[in-house]
Amino acid sequence: MSYLFSYDYRYDDNAYDTETSNKQVDVEDSIGQIYVKYVEPGTAQYGGIFDNTMLRLHRTKHEQFVRDAMHGLSSGFAVLDASQPWLSFWSLNSLDIMGRTIDSTTRTQALQTVRRFQDQRGGFCGGQGQLPHLAGTYASVMALVLVGGDDAFASINRERMYEWLMTMKREDGAFAVHEDGEVDVRGVYCVLVVASLLNIMTAELVSGVAEFVARCQTCEGGLGPYPGVEAHGGYTLCGLAALEIIGSTHVLDLKRLARWMSARQMAFEGGFSGRTNKLVDGCYSYWVGGAFSILQRALSRTPQDDMLYERRALQRYVLACCQDMRIGGLRDKPGKSADLYHTMYGLLGLSLAQHYVGVDPQTRITDTTSVYSVPARMMQWDVVTSAADVVGVSSNVVKPVHPVYGVSLVPLAKCIKYFYALPPLAPSL
């Protein structure tokens, strides 16, 4: 049982309605209609006894939704022609988080698909014949992590990858996402994830990164895409995770960041918004929820301190409001349709809310100078089983995931083991 539901938590526009406030009220109306179904009759006016035992993760429906998408998409998805590696990553990761098998046929098809996107100059493209792109490279590498196996890992040209990444490097420490492309903290994250997994980290690659990310922190406390731009949940995760990889989260004002992130959890809905005065969205279950896990480590907090957000309220939002019971899959919010993007990020957020994945402050590795300190620090992240907090029935449990990389721990460990058996490009950072 939980006493989290009350109409007293609804948004107050102070009798001055705007287009934004009206949309907020509409969303709360739709969510209230769902939540009241889970409240014991006659108790809503007293705080609402929310019956969590009624909440179910409809895993079989979501698996079918993902597998149907992997077998072919309609012509309407042509708009995602430059996001083809992402479709593979979203699908494979969703199956893995739900504990579903990536069978040999699916593995072979995924491996053949992703291999085609690798550019001879280095990096991966969003589609055949396109420019290599940091986002497509990140998604391709993460898909290969999930596919697993020496053949998948060996298909990545590390040397060409590093050369191409360095051509994207800018003097201010950031990276362009493609040749003559935009520069933002998303690109920094993609580079550091890829480089840290493939054992191609060098001092030249990470030079100026921490300083660039620090300049992206706004007066609100969150991080924007580049200096001077509004804070956003997605860019906050990207910047914070990038700093965690290089051991530099201390360059941020962490207390100000914590205030901004805490304000992203909506009091009535339980889910997160991505920006100030924006609506709740299921994808921020990971973009903000995952950032909380990294912040927990940065602040040297322990499982006894718990997280700085309400884990059970987030699970309630994902399970009650984000599941599309018509076609399967997860969605942004009630009234929206499910898609692969929201399915994966909703499941990631659900996982991190269920499981406490963190680093023991007493034993954490602090060295940031050795190339091998990167995998050592990243693999220190582990599941604290005693701090699990699962809403609903036990069958709702999904796999624990690494908050920095957004994949489960076993395929991640296998990838790191393979690439760090190879010689590094540089002895130190």
Q: How far is CA 119 from the centre of its chain?
A: 26
Identify the pLDDT of residue 426.
85
Would you say the pTM of this structure is higher than 0.85?
A: yes
Identify the pLDDT of residue 1.
42
**Helix (H), strand (E) at residue 357:** strand 356-358
Structure confidence at residue 46 as a pLDDT band (50, 70, 90): low
Token pair 């990858």 is found at 161
Summarised one tens digit per residue, pLDDT across range 79-91 is 899 999 999 999 9
Q: Would you put residue 50 in left (φ > 0), alpha (ψ -120 to 50) or beta?
A: beta
User: Of 66, 81, 25, 102, which is closest to residue 330 (Cα–Cα)?
Assistant: 66
CA distances from 128 to 83, 110, 181, 408 (A): 11, 15, 18, 28
| 271 in Cβ contact with 314 (< 8 Å) | yes
| 136 in Cβ contact with 82 (< 8 Å) | yes
| 232 in Cβ contact with 257 (< 8 Å) | no
Structure confidence at residue 47 as a pLDDT band (50, 70, 90): low
Structure confidence at residue 4 as a pLDDT band (50, 70, 90): low
Structure confidence at residue 49 as a pLDDT band (50, 70, 90): confident
Summarised one tens digit per residue, pLDDT across range 346-402 is 999 999 999 999 999 999 998 999 989 999 999 999 999 999 999 999 999 999 999
Identify the pLDDT of residue 2.
52
Of all residues in the chain, the percent with pLDDT exceeding 70 is 98
Q: Please state, in angstroms and rounded to a whole number, the distance separating the CA atoms of residues 244 and 206.
A: 12
Query: What mean pLDDT do residues 5-13 have?
Result: 86
Identify the pLDDT of residue 327.
95
Summarised one tens digit per residue, pLDDT across range 17-28 is 999 999 999 999
| 330 in Cβ contact with 322 (< 8 Å) | yes
Token pair 């589609």 is found at 127
Structure confidence at residue 424 as a pLDDT band (50, 70, 90): very high
Summarised one tens digit per residue, pLDDT across range 129-139 is 999 999 999 99
Cβ neighbourhood burial of 238 (10 Å; 0-12, 13-18, 19+): buried
Of all residues in the chain, the percent with pLDDT exceeding 90 is 88
Structure confidence at residue 44 as a pLDDT band (50, 70, 90): low
Query: What mean pLDDT do residues 242-265 have?
Result: 98
Least confident of 21-30, 37-46, 217-226, 412-421: 37-46
Residues with Cβ < 8 Å from 408, sequence gap 6 or more?
96, 97, 399, 400, 401, 402
Higher-pLDDT residue of 185 and 4 is: 185
- Confidence check: pLDDT of 38 > 50: yes
Would you please indicate which residues are annotated as catalytic (active-site) residues?
Answer: 232, 275, 278, 281, 283-284, 332, 339, 342
CA distances from 387 to 34, 105, 107, 302, 407 (A): 29, 37, 34, 10, 20
Summarised one tens digit per residue, pLDDT across range 114-129 is 999 999 999 999 998 9
Q: Would you put residue 118 in left (φ > 0), alpha (ψ -120 to 50) or beta?
A: beta
* DSSP track, 122-167: SSBBSSTTSPB-HHHHHHHHHHHHHH-SHHHHHTS-HHHHHHHHHH
Query: What mean pLDDT do residues 43-62 have?
Result: 86
CA distances from 236 to 214, 228, 352 (A): 11, 14, 17
